[in-house]
Amino acid sequence: MKHFSSKLLFSALVLGVMSTANPLMAQKYKVDIDKPDFDDLQSPEVGGNTGKKNFKPKDWLEAEVKFKITSNDPKIKFVDRVTVKWFVAAKNPAPGGKGYVLLEKEINHTNVPVGEDVYSSVYLSPTAVKRISGGDRAGKSILSHVGGELMINGSKPEGNSGYFSSKGKAGWWTSGKLARYDKIPLRNKNETPFKFLWWDRYAEIEERR
């Protein structure tokens, strides 16, 4: 009798866990994601009554990707968090350096709408551009590949829909052929003078507290 009661208790616990987990397990997401694009942008000239200063805009490099999340549950209109892990293959900035190095950046987006096209972006500052290229006006030729992985609420979306790459097969950043380089940071949009520009185009960035 005691053995039978234990089995009943165990079954009840399993059913309880399953009933709690089912709503979460039922939520499946898929991502339609384009190839990332990258281009050079000049620092914006922001006006205001701050006095006139001599200013010659320098070049930033921007990489952006467009994505749209879909859900199997039509009631879900937003997801709490979308994490985009960016990987950029940039020319080796070391004196006499050859080949490319790997730059990385993880950006968390919050309140991301479902069923709408939104963008995520990452940037190289003018000083980063100069350090890599040796000049202020270097174009996007200093980059070879741009790619990354998108996760929804900490989990991978259906299939391989969360991967993207400007060329070649996504996942090239895991090949081990490129050495990680942490001396040149990638920036999210809120860490640039473009923070308040094109606001509605981009997914909202989660600020660190």
Note the pLDDT of residue 89: 97
Is the pLDDT at 95 greater than 60? The verdict is yes
Where are the alpha helices (H) located in 46-160, listed in sequence order? 126-133
Locate 95 and state its tokens.
Answer: 């004196």
Q: Is residue 50 part of a domain?
A: no
pLDDT in tens, 126-182: 999 999 998 876 677 899 999 999 999 999 999 889 999 999 999 999 999 999 999
- The CATH number of residue 89's host domain is 2.60.40
19-72 pLDDT, tens digit per residue, is 444 444 557 999 999 999 988 998 887 766 666 777 788 899 999 999 999 999
| Predicted confidence (pLDDT) per residue in 185-206, tens digit | 999 999 999 999 999 999 999 9
Kindly state whether residue 2 falls inside one of the protein's structural domains. no
**Residues of the chain with pLDDT > 70: what percent?**
84
**Beta strand 37-42 with 59-71: parallel, antiparallel or unpaired?**
antiparallel
Beta carbons of 166 and 62 less than 8 angstroms apart: no
**pLDDT the model gives residue 156:** 95
**Residue 106 pLDDT more than 50?**
yes
Bridge pairing between strands 179-180 and 100-113:
parallel
| Number of folded domains that form the chain | 1
**Is residue 146 situated within a structural domain?**
yes
For residue 4, being part of any structural domain is answered with no
pTM for this one? 0.84
Backbone conformation region of residue 29, classed left if phi is above 0, alpha if psi is from -120 to 50, else beta = beta
β-strand partners of 64: 37, 121
Q: Are 188 and 122 in contact (CB under 8 A)?
A: yes
pLDDT value of residue 44: 85
Region 78-105: mean pLDDT is 96
Q: What is the DSSP letter of 71?
A: E
Range of the domain at 120: 23-43+57-201
